[in-house]
Structure 1
Amino acid sequence: MDKETAVPSQAELNVYVSSPSGSRAKETTFREWVVNNQIGTHTPPPRPATAASTASEDNSHRPSLVTGISLTILAMLLALHNLYPSLRPYTQPFFELSYYDPATNQYVQGWDDVYFVVSAALVLTAIRAIAIEWIIQPMARHAGLGRKGSIRLAEQGWQVMYYSFVWATGLYLWKNSYYWFDFSAIWDEWPARPLSGLMKWYLLVELAFLIQSIFIIHVEEKRKDHYQMFAHHVITSTLLTSAYIYGFYNVSNVVLCLMDIVDFLLPAAKILKYLKYQNACNVGFGIFMSTWFMTRHVLYNMLWWSIYTNVPDKMAYGCYSSATTKMISTTASADLFGPFRSFDEPICMSPTIKFIFLSFLLSIQVLSIVWFTMIVRVAYTTITTGAAEDSRSDDEDEAEVDTEATPNGTVRLAAKDGVSVPPVAVDTAPGLDRRRSNGSASVRARGRGRVPFDQSDRKALLGRIGCDKPT
């Protein structure tokens, strides 16, 4: 067979093959290394794939390297904390909330809180990997999903686990507060610094999760909304940090509650889609859309307007003592970063500070509008045509293409969703690399190298948003 017609180009197939004689493998980037070792099992050396070996590899769940690194760092800190009492003043902030006042049974802020945020991010990273790899993914495989589908379901399952728990915690704090659905009362006790232990833990864990999410979106495959999501995490983490330093605990609690509720409703609907509960998925997606609109575009804007109108009625412009919370000057200081340098410096409120915080909140609202526009477009397309393409993600539900060797030396590309692809001959001559996964090569159609599937036969996929078919 003519090599020029038998061997597809790399751009067409986006697949790497290696020489049987063992030519040098493709260099792995740091991002690829983290992705391969964050939630997936350890990939054994390439070997001939058989039904028994594939089942054995699919059922082997070894600790991922990222999990091991996170737990190792935490174990070292814990060992130092317990074995060397003289080091406890330095290690204790990693494991306990700092700045406790026994007289009031409350806490205040301080720079030692940074250590707790770091340890919380490590713990969340380890819990995420363990939950995905050892708990949710095996359950998904037991439910009949394939390797890729089980990983997708596991990732959404972790989102449901985290956001349902943290949203319930935030809602409990909000429901038992004096500002429950009274936005003007949010500022009644400002600039008082003390806060409860649960409120402090809640805000620091949320900040740790945002920082960890910035790391996660940079090591996973980039989606179409990568930069919007990155901007959202950066803006939200900056806003949450600044609000914590300025003592805006209450408004942070309300904003997070309004944001977090939809972040577990969407993954829950997607899990129903992966498990083939079509009607339940449609209902879940409808609840998600309604909740998104009400919380992020109605209540959120009411809160924004309350900040705009109630300041300075509730928070008179000027500077306040961080110790006594009494106003010490009616002229707000131009130094916005005084509280960032030291919590002992006066804390001020001025029109400039007010509009800086409002601008951050407005930026989050703009991103929410962009995303909601995408969601509405997907829902409209699904209802009118019954075939919707996800406008937020490149490859969440992209057809996965596996290669099967045939006796005549060709490779058959077996795509999922019932798409048949003719066999393609692949030359295994030296000089080419083979990308392997669990002993077998796999390619994904994307970018310039898309395999030309028949669009009339290909299943329309929704991906990150919505369900496969309309009700």
Structure 2
Amino acid sequence: MADTMPVQPLERKERNAYVSSGARPAKETTFREWVVTNQIGISLTTLAMLLALHNLYPSLRPYTQPFFQLSYYDEASNSYVQGWDDVYFVLSATIALTGIRAIAIEWVMQPIARASGLKRKNAVRIAEQGWMAMYYGFIWVVGLYLWKTSYYWGDFAAMWSQWPARPLSGLMKWYLLVELAFLMQQIFVIHVEERRKDHVQMLSHHIITSALLGSAYIYAMYNVSNVVLCLMDIVDVLLPSAKILKYLKYETACNIGFGLFMSTWLLTRHMIYPVVCWSVYHQLPLNLNYGCYSGSTSEFISAEPPNSFAYMLGPYFSLDNPICFNPTLKWIFLGLLLVIESLSIVWFSMIVRVAYGVICGGNAEDSRSDEEDEVEVPSYSASHAPLHLAAKDGVTVELVEGEEAPGLDRRRSNGTASVRARGRGRVPFDQSDRKALLGRIGCEKPT
């Protein structure tokens, strides 16, 4: 009789096992979630493989060396020029920054924040802001040193006086390539990690800035790149610092820091930065002769480009191709700068709204749309805590027996049902521009 008993399919057995035990199958991990979880391992493994190939196979070193050191060094002048091998350095720097960021957040800053008594959500946020403050603080000091020791410090017209001279110092080249790698890493981060409300705006900003920085590098406009990056980076040092003060519950210090951040933003992005744009519009034609120059010797060749369009792409393919500049290129370059300024104006209008709220008695707010922690609060009667608010707040509510909570998980114990809401934990009581402040401006109110 045992031989004639039908054999139940394996899938049906597993499904029946879940039904009988009351358990649910584990949620499958998506590729994006896997990448986020394993950023450290992916980065270190990739770099370790490149290093192994570089050290174990000497014949491959001409191909692996550009990943680890700057290319196109000229011993005679003790300087560097550009070339396609710089792409490999940017790629390896992007991978390295991804790993360094994950290590700094997960292994250093987040454990320190948790040891200080912060809950998981605030510990993660303070770690993220700590990394931003650390990177921008370091790279801004490097950029300011290059600017302060340059011949164009305090004289924007001088930025164009030596164009199109290609050679640049090793520190300047490293600085520009690392800044470009950081922008690439930021594009990667906003795609693999949880999407923010300002995803489209931040993605547009990073793409435009990357295109502008990359083109300025190819066209040997290192000076203006250095100035613009310095003006932008100082703001990104102050904002994370103000947020860290907020997460540590230093409300007054946070508001003072936010005021300093706002003042610096106004000075650098809406006073000095427009002067740079004016220099491109007015001073560039006065100090730079329109026409084409030799890509290798920087000698003047002709007053007119050899063709209508291809001359723009020539410097991207070879240093020997002519490098030209004319009103068309000036307006393309200036247009990209003005697009960045337009985004800054939109963001600053929202900063002003936050500042107005602070003056009226509130606090600077963070508009990020992260998942909130599940927060335990004292039990409320069902008549005093509407279920739709409880579900949005993500709190645990004790219901009277027999009270139903459609759409929520219930666990009955001693005549009560513990209901825990799922999903996002913030009541969307304000969907105005102030709440959706681009760039996560301001600081988070205490939960």
Structure 2 CA distance for aligned equivalents of residues 467 and 415 of structure 1:
24
Deviation at 1:109, TM superposition (A): 0.2
Pair 1:319 & 2:292 matched: yes
How far apart in 1 are the matches of 2:444 and 2:67? 45
For residues 226-274 of structure 1, give each alpha carbon's deviation from its aligned partner in whole angstroms, at most 9, with x where no partner exists. Answer: 1110000000000011000000001000000000000110000000000
- Write the distance in 1 (CA, Å) between the matches of 2:441 and 2:300: 50
When residues 168 and 386 of structure 1 are mapped into structure 2, their CA distance, relative to the original with a 3 A threshold, is same
Structure 2 residue 166 is the aligned partner of structure 1 residue 186: no
Q: Structure 1 residue 136 and structure 2 residue 109: aligned?
A: yes
Distance 1:78 1:388, change over 3 A: closer
Residue 400 (structure 1) aligned to one of 366, 369, 373: 373
Give how far 1:443 is off. Answer: 3.3
1:68-79 alignment, distance < 5 Å: 68-79=41-52
CA contact (8 A) 1:401 1:444 kept: no
Q: 2:318 aligned with 1:339, yes or no?
A: no
Aligned to 1:48: none
1:67 matched to 2:40: yes
Distance across 2 between alignment mates of 1:343 and 1:421 = 69
1:332 deviates by 2.8
- Separation in 2, partners of 1:23, 1:415: 22
The RMSD of aligned alpha carbons is: 2.9
Determine if the alignment matches structure 1 residue 227 to structure 2 residue 200. Answer: yes
Q: Percent identity?
A: 65
What SS class does the counterpart of residue 129 from structure 2 fall into? helix
The structure-2 alpha-carbon separation of the partners of 1:88 and 1:23, relative to structure 1 and needing over 3 Å to count, comes to same
The residue that corresponds to 1:386 in the other structure is 362
Q: Are residues 373 and 144 of structure 1, via their aligned partners in 2, closer, same or farther at CA, if it must alter by over 3 Å?
A: same
CA–CA separation in structure 2 for the residues paired with 1:200 and 1:442: 52
Distance 1:187 1:422, change over 3 A: farther
TM-score, normalising length: structure 2: 0.82
**1:445 equivalent in alignment to 2:424:** yes
Match of 2:81 among 83, 95, 108: 108
1:426 aligns with 2:409: yes
Secondary structure, aligned partner of 1:312: helix
Compared CA separation, residues 418 and 426, structure 1 to 2 (3 A): closer
Q: Higher helix fraction: Structure 1 or Structure 2?
A: 2
2:84 is matched by which residue type in structure 1? W
Question: Do the aligned partners of 1:400 and 1:415 also contact (CA within 8 Å) in 2?
Answer: no
**Residue in 2 that maps onto 1:50:** none
Greater shift after overlay, 259-268 or 329-338? Answer: 329-338
Please tell me whether residue 214 in structure 1 is matched to residue 193 in structure 2: no
1:24 equivalent to 2:25? Answer yes
Larger mean CA deviation between 279-288 and 412-421 belongs to 412-421
* Change over 3 Å in CA distance of 1:321–1:394 after alignment to 2: same
Q: Which has the larger radius of gyration?
A: 2
Question: Which residue, 290, 295, 298 being the options, matches 2:268?
Answer: 295
Q: Deviations over 1:348-388 (max 9, x none)?
A: 00100000000100010011111111111111122225266
Query: What is the alpha-carbon distance in structure 1 between the residues aligned to residue 83 and residue 205 of structure 2?
Result: 25
**Contact between 1:387 and 1:461, CA under 8 Å: does it hold in 2?**
no
Normalized against structure 1, the TM-score is what?
Answer: 0.78
Q: What are the equivalent positions in structure 2 for 1:198-277 lying under 5 Å apart?
A: 198-277=171-250
**What secondary structure sits across from 1:366 in the alignment?**
helix
Report what 1:52 is aligned to: none
Q: CA deviation at 1:283?
A: 1.1
Q: Deviations over 1:165-220 (max 9, x none)?
A: 00000000000000002100001111000000000000000000000100101122
Q: 1:315 to 1:285 in 2, by over 3 A?
A: same
How far off is 1:403 after superposition?
7.7
Given residue 250 of structure 2, which amino acid in structure 1 is its aligned partner?
A: Y
How far residue 26 of structure 1 moved from its aligned partner, in angstroms, is 3.3
Is residue 357–residue 363 contact of structure 2 (8 Å, CA) maintained in 1? yes
**Greater RCO (Cα-Cα under 8 Å, separation 6 or more):** 1
Shift of residue 416 of structure 1?
Answer: 12
One-letter amino acid matched to 2:358: T
The separation in 2 between residues aligned to 1:243 and 1:319, in whole angstroms, is: 16
Whether the 8 Å CA contact 2:196–2:368 is kept in 1: the answer is yes
Instruction: Pick closer, same or farther for the CA change 1:178–1:34 going to 2, 3 Å.
Output: same
Tell me by how many angstroms 1:225 deviates. 1.4
Mapping of residues 407-422 of structure 1, within 5 Å: 421-422=397-398
Which residue does the alignment assign to 1:365? 341
TM-superposed CA distance for 1:461, in Å, is: 12
2: CA distance between counterparts of 1:427 and 1:419? 13
Give yes or no for contact 2:394–2:422 (8 Å, CA) kept in 1: no
Alpha carbons of 1:403 and 1:238: their partners in 2 closer, same or farther (altered >3 Å)? same
Q: For 1:401, what is the secondary structure of its paired residue?
A: coil
